[in-house]
Amino acid sequence: MKLTDKEIEIAEILEKDARISDEDIAKMIGEDLEKTKELIAKLEEVNVVVRYTSIVDWSKVEGHEGVTAMIDVKVTPKRGVGFDEVAQRIYRFKEVKSLYLMSGAYDLSVIIEGKSMNEVARFVSEKLSTLDSVISTTTHFILKQYKHDGTIFEQSDDDKRIVVSP
């Protein structure tokens, strides 16, 4: 789908801050409010803007501990459907938060969330690795999140300026 420059500009603005008002977007792109609302509605209708989300730093919330894992999956693609069929089977699991087709040493990258390492291990051994097309998996546990979707976590407010005295 070919988008106009204004539509691309709106998509970029919303990607950075989904809470920005339509009025502010209109000012930023130099368009009137009604036209801006029409353009946003079009982007939503054609699924360019798929969903509005928030980034939450759950490490700061007591009682909301969990485990996030990135799993590299090597699969055998099926004739006629390639990787799509196995990808659909994998992304239907409730534990799966993201799924990507990758180039390189493995075929799919699966990001899952669980309450414990044992829960993630059970998912891999009982659900993921038992699928017909799955050849092998490698699981990586995320220990700390520094940056997510362009947002830096735990920025230091320390003053880095050198003290100058007379």
In a domain, 159, yes or no: no
In a domain, 84, yes or no: yes
Query: What are the C-alpha distances in Å from 81 to residues 32, 108, 116?
Result: 45, 15, 34
Q: Coil, helix or strand for 136?
A: strand
Q: Within this chain, do residues 19 and 81 fall inside the same structural domain, yes or no?
A: no
Backbone angles phi, psi at 83, to 5 degrees: -90, -10
Number of domains in the chain: 2
Q: Are both 97 and 130 inside the same structural domain?
A: yes
CATH number at residue 97: 3.30.70.920
108 vs 98: CA distance, rounded Å: 10
Residues 65 and 140 in one domain: yes
pLDDT tens, residue order, the chain (166 aa): 899 999 999 999 998 889 999 999 999 999 999 999 999 999 999 999 998 888 777 777 887 778 999 999 999 998 888 899 999 999 999 999 999 999 999 999 999 999 899 999 999 999 999 999 999 999 999 998 888 877 788 766 666 667 677 6
Distances in Å between the Cα of 82 and the Cα atoms of 33, 59, 78, 141 are: 45, 38, 5, 28
